[in-house]
Structure 1
């Protein structure tokens, strides 16, 4: 055994390794764990070994995010960012302030609004006109499925009462047929295609900023759920990922889920994802140290329930003929999945509604189910029929879910639940049912749709209520009335879903996600033990230190 570079002891260490669930010391050498347990670590101690006293704090494996959009999140951080506020007037004040501070920008761009603050859940161009009228403005919703624009932006884009809905999108119009300034799904491209172009350098900066942010909340690895030219992306993000990896700037374990572009013919798209995977495989790197891999392809199958585009088996309540949107018909989806399986890709399908979930599971099991080597996953599963969960468990399909959404916040209560029948509501973010059915849960954030903070996500998974400090869950209902309280899971299950099982979904569980000899030294040091705090205070825990492959990448001041 080599002499350790560093040893951590003096606190509780939760390993997420069932063979040794807890220990009292861990030793690392060259970024790799070489010993656990006080006796073994003492044997690895030399005169130059640095010993870190945890002083009663808690050390856990570093978190992984199984579904995020760090390019969009990173770009949003330098535009008009509404993520940290909630309210009609606060939004307008922030936008007005940003516009005043950027008088030379051709467009006023931003993101992060929640629909519940607007009348009927929809913003109007007049709202935006009141603070920006001299130039076009476009503000993307927090979930990236809606784009709020002002009158000038509609004029520049040539969108009028006579403009038809594009394939896969919707231009929201009032009772007189006039566009109100809200564009859903692909309709946003009528405007986003006119933005001043982002450069690869802009995207590289966004990735670095996002990585720093992730490190500050204990995240050491992520899966970008759509690398390419996905809806809402201002640039092809693949090339900036390549340049960042070639420059050795990823101090994280990163999986690029290559975006399946529905506008590109099938045969051409298959060749594109194969070529992109080969390009990434050609980059030198040590998987224990971090870097980039492309083992997954992301398919967007439906939209979201809040704007009636999530694909449901039963119609939306109050909208008898509306079942949502499918981006692919069943035969087309089956062909795509078969082609990807034949080329050894993992498949990651966005399926919010129960009909989309059924079609996704049909496609992923059409050939008898994925091979044990595949990490197929369905993302979101807002409304999940228990029959589909049984099929997922039998086939080994991962439920890639976003725990922060499973609470009764105002956006859910005001803009989503009214659209769902009672039976649909009863199958809403049913994490315990997924667990009991034997489905593997892997947690992600969908950031910037919602906060990527794993501590907040764990809080909601365990309590089914909002964390104390979440600006989007400050009302009494969100804080105190659980959403389907029987669907809560334990702290241990939530932590596993953010560590070893998220690393599994990302394809890095062989080197990360748990604390075991031979794995990468990927840790988060917490100010308190999540297994010991009162459950209602779980979201108040702070990350003190983040270590990625033995390197301290974040230290709270």
Structure 2
């Protein structure tokens, strides 16, 4: 084939198209930012074609469940995640490296990502954080985002004493004598302290978000779905302000409205590089903390575990157009917290079948009967799973799940084979692992089905490299709010990434070491290592 004057043809590459686990071409053409042709290098006659030197090429990758705005709010926090932080002492050492330590009582020492379940030397409390400072507030969020711990200075600054009542839906943890320990469970309790901290304004959050652009592009991520935009007021406006400052990925923002009315949306709100992609009807109910266990009606669990709540089934609503509402015009909501996980599938049988824009966040152990109900439902569901959870948080899963539940936790092979609309995503930063949104960590976990410590996490549910990457590209594209992405195919945006190795043939246990050398957006180089 030949190319026109404003087209660029690339040849001599191993190009995974994203349309199937074994679908490859060796050449493609981009014209005006869009793929216009794919095929084989021997068919290229253009003399100015770009030779990719046999490199492995993927479509631009998609993270359809992440939290960019939350990540921006954490820009002033020290990372307390594994594998860098694995003990209470290393957590305190990390906080002592905060640039604002010693800057006076108005400066906050912040951290994010601790997980005391893996600390052999004990859990953090106010007394431990007092060892970092007694003269300024010290505050750290847990990896799940639902719990925090602070020092005595911060408790005093917030006016929290033994007489302070627990807020609705939250708990101020107290010691045997009734004194606050500094541990705060659930958002309402965390906010008693966090709201005292001077908050960055929307302009600052937009600036920080723009600064995250290279982070995403470095991992080959060209589109992200922000599944909890309400960490700030007017998240769409903040994201669009970040775009004006150089934020490059497509971004669909999801609004949280609880059981209140949705805001009125225009067509302009639902289109563009940054758009409203839908809504989250029931905020994520992480289960990294032991205190959640007592509220669960699930006898199959026998102890605390790390991540998401089995009770939550349908959590997000996408689209927000007329087709994404019930026939009576009311917005759809997530199910009550203590319904069994299969009830929403029965309840939604009366809803007209629409596009695959109603994702189910991970029902960690998924019984095969749920696959059948998802398929039979008149509404189309998209299912988002998170192999990085099982990889990074194995210890608590092993403690908490019975043999039967362990065998069906994160059943990627079962879902891949039975559900058309399924994806892998990161839930970053609410995963207990540094750089958890590096797709190649999740791909390795999905393929090897071994935890960070080498433990077996159910080999029977392993999938191939091609299948895992399809769940980050073509399959993910079916359920994202972002459009024209996920495939190397005519009509799709000319987004692609060039890798430093052939991820399809290397030793599977080294997949996480794969690096993106270049990321292209609409045919233009956006990142180069």
Give the shorter-chain TM-score range: 0.7 to 0.9
Counterpart-to-counterpart distance in 2, 1:328 and 1:390: 15
Counterpart-to-counterpart distance in 1, 2:55 and 2:125: 49
> For structure 1, which segment, 157-166 or 373-382, has the greater mean C-alpha deviation from structure 2 after superposition?
157-166
Counting only pairs closer than 5 Å after superposition, residues 362-441 of structure 1 correspond to structure 2 as: 362-363=346-347, 365-368=348-351, 371-395=353-377, 396-407=380-391, 409=392, 411-413=393-395, 415-438=396-419, 440-441=421-422
CA offsets 1:390-427 (integer angstroms, 9 cap, x no match): 212333311111121122x5x431x4442344443333
Q: Which residue, 455, 469, 474 being the options, matches 1:495?
A: 469
Q: Hey, what does 2:152 align to over in structure 1?
A: 151
Q: Which residue, 280, 288, 301 being the options, matches 1:306?
A: 288
- Residues 348, 455 of structure 1: CA spacing in aligned structure 2 closer, same or farther, 3 A cutoff? farther
The answer to whether the 8 Å contact 2:112/2:140 transfers is yes
SS at match of 2:212: helix
Q: Hey, what does 1:452 align to over in structure 2?
A: 437
SS at match of 1:53: strand
Are 2:479 and 1:505 aligned? Answer: yes
Shift of 1:147: 1.0
SS at match of 1:448: coil
Shift of 1:23: 1.1
Counterpart-to-counterpart distance in 1, 2:25 and 2:61: 18
Q: Hey, what does 1:470 align to over in structure 2?
A: none
Are 2:478 and 1:538 aligned? Answer: no
Q: Hey, what does 1:110 align to over in structure 2?
A: 111
CA offsets 1:54-83 (integer angstroms, 9 cap, x no match): 222101111000101112223323432334
Shift of 1:174: 3.0
CA offsets 1:102-123 (integer angstroms, 9 cap, x no match): 6145322221212234369742
Q: Hey, what does 2:249 align to over in structure 1?
A: 252
Counting only pairs closer than 5 Å after superposition, residues 44-59 of structure 1 correspond to structure 2 as: 45=46, 49=48, 51-59=49-57
Q: Hey, what does 1:98 align to over in structure 2?
A: 98
Counterpart-to-counterpart distance in 1, 2:117 and 2:506: 32
Are 2:220 and 1:223 aligned? Answer: no
Shift of 1:279: 5.2
SS at match of 2:394: helix
> For structure 1, which segment, 213-222 or 420-429, has the greater mean C-alpha deviation from structure 2 after superposition?
420-429
> For structure 1, which segment, 194-203 or 165-174, has the greater mean C-alpha deviation from structure 2 after superposition?
165-174
Counting only pairs closer than 5 Å after superposition, residues 312-331 of structure 1 correspond to structure 2 as: 312-315=296-299, 316-317=301-302
Counterpart-to-counterpart distance in 2, 1:339 and 1:442: 20
Q: Hey, what does 1:164 align to over in structure 2?
A: 165
Shift of 1:28: 0.8
- Residues 329, 148 of structure 1: CA spacing in aligned structure 2 closer, same or farther, 3 A cutoff? same
TM-score (norm 1): 0.81
Shift of 1:513: 0.5
> For structure 1, which segment, 449-458 or 532-541, has the greater mean C-alpha deviation from structure 2 after superposition?
532-541
The answer to whether the 8 Å contact 2:138/2:150 transfers is yes
The answer to whether the 8 Å contact 1:110/1:138 transfers is yes
The answer to whether the 8 Å contact 1:7/1:41 transfers is no
CA RMSD of aligned residues (A): 3.4
Q: Hey, what does 2:84 align to over in structure 1?
A: 85
- Residues 99, 553 of structure 1: CA spacing in aligned structure 2 closer, same or farther, 3 A cutoff? closer
Counterpart-to-counterpart distance in 2, 1:7 and 1:248: 30
Count of equivalent residues: 505
Q: Which residue, 449, 455, 458 being the options, matches 1:484?
A: 458
The answer to whether the 8 Å contact 1:216/1:546 transfers is yes
Counting only pairs closer than 5 Å after superposition, residues 346-361 of structure 1 correspond to structure 2 as: 357-361=341-345
Counterpart-to-counterpart distance in 2, 1:62 and 1:328: 29
SS at match of 1:98: coil
Q: Which runs of 5+ in 2 are unaligned?
A: 316-321
Shift of 1:203: 1.1
Q: Hey, what does 1:334 align to over in structure 2?
A: none
The structure with the largest helix share of the pair is: 1
Counterpart-to-counterpart distance in 2, 1:239 and 1:533: 43
Q: Hey, what does 2:178 align to over in structure 1?
A: 177
The answer to whether the 8 Å contact 2:222/2:495 transfers is yes
Counterpart-to-counterpart distance in 2, 1:126 and 1:106: 19
Shift of 1:378: 1.1
Shift of 1:215: 0.2
Are 2:232 and 1:243 aligned? Answer: no
The answer to whether the 8 Å contact 1:302/1:350 transfers is no
The answer to whether the 8 Å contact 1:312/1:356 transfers is no
SS at match of 1:57: strand
TM-score (norm 2): 0.85
Q: Which runs of 5+ in 1 are unaligned?
A: 286-290, 331-336, 467-472
Counterpart-to-counterpart distance in 1, 2:110 and 2:282: 24
SS at match of 1:66: strand
CA offsets 1:178-233 (integer angstroms, 9 cap, x no match): 322221222212112111021112211221122210000100001000112xxxx3
The answer to whether the 8 Å contact 1:295/1:345 transfers is no
> For structure 1, which segment, 371-380 or 32-41, has the greater mean C-alpha deviation from structure 2 after superposition?
32-41
Q: Hey, what does 1:465 align to over in structure 2?
A: 450
- Residues 118, 124 of structure 1: CA spacing in aligned structure 2 closer, same or farther, 3 A cutoff? farther
Counterpart-to-counterpart distance in 2, 1:296 and 1:193: 27
Q: Hey, what does 1:61 align to over in structure 2?
A: 59
